[in-house]
Structure 1
C-alpha cells in the first residue's frame, strides 16, 4: 500500500506515529487512542477541510461545495460550469425583463403585480402599488434579476469559483423572493 511509512501526529497526545498496516497502526503507540489515517485535503474551491482515504480520491466530493476533490489534487481535470443556450437566453431575458420592470416602477411610481394561481381565478389576486409602496417590489425584482444575470456571468467565468457564484445566486434569490412576498402586505388588492 502507498500509505506505508506515512507519519501522522495523534490528535489526543500529539505523538508522531508511523503507518505500517491497517492491523498494526489503528491505535496510537503512546496513549492507545484510535488513529485517524485519512488524508486531510483543503478544497481549492471553498477552503473546507476534507478527510479522505487514498481509495476515495477519484470519486470523493468536498463536504462543503460538493465539487470533486480530484480538482484540488489535479487542477487540470477541472471542468467549468456551463449553461445550454436555451437556459442562457431565458436567464438573460428574465434578468433584463425584471430590471426593466423595476426601472419602469421607479419612474412611474406605479406597479401592478399578480399573486396566486393562473388556473383558478378564485385564488388569483392582483395588487397595486403606488408611491413609496413601489420600493419593496422594485428591490425584489432587482435582486432576482441580478441573480439571473449572475447565472450567465458564472457561465462566462471559467475559473474554479462556482461555489461563490452559487452562494451569491442563492442569497439573491432568497432575499428577492422574501421581499416579493412581504411586498403584498403593503400593496392594495385589486379585483
Structure 2
C-alpha cells in the first residue's frame, strides 16, 4: 500500500449507527487496529452507551443504576452523538439523515439492532411495558418493587431473565409463549426441555401453545 493510499484510508470518515454492543465494539476495534481517521458513534438514546443484558437483572432489581461500558471514548478519539435518531440513508450523497440533521460519511456501519414487537392495540395502554432500554428498566422497577402480578409475553432469554427478576422481587408471574416450549427459536427441543421444569421450580406459571 502506497503512502497516498494509506493516507486516504486513514482519513476516511467512519460513522457507526447504533451505540449498542456491536456499534461500540466496532468503533473501539477500529482504534485498536490503528485506524486514525474520524470515527463517530450515533445512538438514539441520550445515555452513555451501555450493555443491555444487565437491564433484565441487576438494573431491573435496583442493584445497579446503569450498565455503561467502561470505555473512555474521548481518549480513543471516538465522537459520540447521543439522543440522535437515524431516520434514513442517502447512499448516493454519502449522508445519514438524523434528528440532528445530515451526517456525512465515507464508510457507514449499521449496528442498529432490533426493536421489540409490540402487541397490537397495546401502545399507550397503562401497565403494558417493553424491556429493551435503560428507560424501560427504570419504568419497570417500581412495578417489581410494588409486587404486582406480572404477565410476561414470550419465553425467550429476556422473558426468562425478567421472570427470574420478578420472582426474586416476590411477584406472581405468568409467562405466555406461542410456541410449544420455552426458547423454541433459540435452542433445540432437547436442550430447551429443562426450562419448563425451571419455570415450575421458580414458582412461575408457564403457558405454551
TM-score computed with the length of structure 2 as normaliser: 0.21
Larger gyration radius, structure 1 or structure 2: 1
**Structure with greater proportional helix content:** 1
Structure with greater strand percent: 2
